[in-house]
């Protein structure tokens, strides 16, 4: 699939923002006053920047509000509702903390649940697609949620939690990289099932140049680079930040750990799109990975 910068920015930034909102919501002694305001501003800036980036992916962004109508059937619509609900509930919780020094734990927990629900709905937009076997798996929402809570833990300065989560996220991402390579073959869709012909070979494409389908869905990344990028994603996303957090804590080290994790997360999300094989590309003679 085409790794659109708007979608990478959307999923990474909103994941971080909602991840931070989750930790602020469940905090027994959350920051209040000016410190609280700073934390909530960062969380809202990230979440809103992510959601804003997602509208750049639309062909008709001026009609984006119509996306709220089909929550009964569409995960994209549910994601829009979850985002609005999470941002609204957490705004009340934040206003209490920042302006009135008032902590309402129940409201915080509700906001945290809605924040995670939003990340879950985002991940289901991809996980629901049977046409992309690499995404159509329970590990997709698990990994999206792990990245969100890990990034949130780093943003909110929770060293112990971040260390555990970096290890778990790194291990899960590594496993998904390897397992993902086998999912297209496992799905059983081949050029033969696509055409009903015995052992076909793509002889001539329908058109001589690229089109929407080949640009959007037949994107393929050179395997050589994919493996290097996977190692970079794991090293920057999990290994380096974990090592930095093991050193005696200093805020500058924490910041470097956060930036490294985000860089690794962006690399992993780029691969999430770039490596995903759409079954439609079989019609164009794209070979399967085994």
Partner 1 sequence: MTSLPKLTERRLGLVIDLDTCVGCHACVVACKGWNTQSHGVPLSDQDPYGADPSGTFLNRIHTYEVTPADGPAQVVHFPKSCLHCEDAPCVTVCPTGASFKRAADGIVLVNETDCIGCGLCAWACPYGARELDADEGVMKKCTLCVDRIDNPTLPEEDRIPACVRTCPAGARHFGDLSDPNSAISALVEERGGFDLMPEQGTRPVNKYLPPRPRDTWTEEVDVLAPFLEPVAEDARGFLGWLDRTLSKL
Binding interface with partner 1 (CB under 8 A): 1, 57-61, 63-64, 66-70, 72-77, 80, 125, 128-132, 187-189, 191, 193-207, 209-213, 216-217, 278-280, 283-284
- Distance, in Å, from the CA atom of 137 to the CA atom of 128, rounded to the nearest integer, reads 8
Residue whose tokens read 């389908």: 213
Q: Shortest distance, CB of residue 236 to partner 1, whole angstroms? A: 28
| Cα gap 133→187, rounded to integer Å | 6
Our CB check for partner 1 shows the closer of 201 and 224 to be: 201
Nearest residue to 28 via CA among 114, 109, 145: 109
Closer of 149 and 282 to partner 1 (Cβ): 282
Question: Shortest approach of partner 1 to residue 186 CB, angstroms?
Answer: 11
Residues 66-95: b if buried by 16+ CB within 10 A, e if exposed:
ebeeebeeebebbbbbbbebbbebbeebbe
CB nearer to partner 1: give 129 or 146.
Answer: 129
Burial (CB count within 10 angstroms: exposed 0-12, middle 13-18, buried 19+), residue 190: middle
Q: Which is nearer to partner 1, 195 or 225 (CB)?
A: 195
- The structure tokens listed for 79 are 């994601």
Minimum distance of partner 1 from residue 49's CB (angstroms): 19
Residue 248 near residue 257, CB atoms below 8 Å: no
> Least distance from C-beta 20 to partner 1, angstroms?
26
- Closer residue to partner 1, CB minimum distance, 188 or 248: 188
Closest distance of CB 64 from partner 1, Å: 6
* Cβ distance to partner 1 smaller for residue 12 or 279: 279
- The closest alpha carbon to 53, from 112, 18, 97, 7, belongs to 7
Nearest distance in Å: CB 90, partner 1: 23
């Amino acid at each position: 699939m085409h790794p659109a910068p708007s979608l990478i920015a959307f999923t990474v930034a909103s994941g971080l923002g909602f991840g931070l909102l989750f930790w602020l919501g469940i905090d027994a002694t959350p920051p209040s006053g000016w410190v609280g305001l700073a934390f909530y501003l960062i969380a809202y800036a990230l979440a809103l920047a992510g959601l804003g980036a997602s509208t750049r992916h639309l062909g008709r962004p001026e009609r984006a509000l119509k996306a709220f109508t089909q929550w009964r059937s569409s995960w994209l619509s549910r994601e829009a509702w979850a985002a609005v609900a999470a941002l609204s509930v957490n705004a009340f919780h934040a206003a209490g903390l920042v302006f009135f020094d008032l902590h309402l734990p129940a409201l915080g927990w509700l906001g945290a649940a809605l924040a995670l629900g939003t990340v879950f709905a985002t991940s289901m937009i991809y996980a629901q697609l049977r046409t992309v076997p690499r995404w159509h798996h329970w590990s997709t929402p698990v990994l999206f949620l792990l990245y969100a809570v890990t990034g949130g833990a780093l943003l909110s300065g929770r060293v112990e939690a971040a260390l555990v989560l970096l290890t778990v996220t790194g291990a899960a991402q590594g496993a998904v990289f390897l397992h993902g390579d086998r999912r297209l073959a496992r799905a059983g869709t081949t050029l033969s099932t696509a055409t009903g012909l015995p052992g076909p070979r793509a002889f001539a494409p329908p058109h001589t140049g690229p089109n929407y389908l080949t640009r959007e869905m037949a994107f393929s990344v050179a395997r050589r680079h994919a493996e290097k990028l996977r190692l970079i994603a794991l090293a920057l996303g999990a290994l380096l930040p974990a090592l930095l957090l093991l050193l005696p804590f200093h805020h500058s080290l924490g910041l470097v750990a956060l930036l490294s994790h985000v860089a690794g997360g962006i690399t992993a999300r780029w691969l999430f799109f770039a490596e995903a094989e759409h079954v439609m590309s079989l019609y164009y003679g794209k070979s399967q990975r085994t």
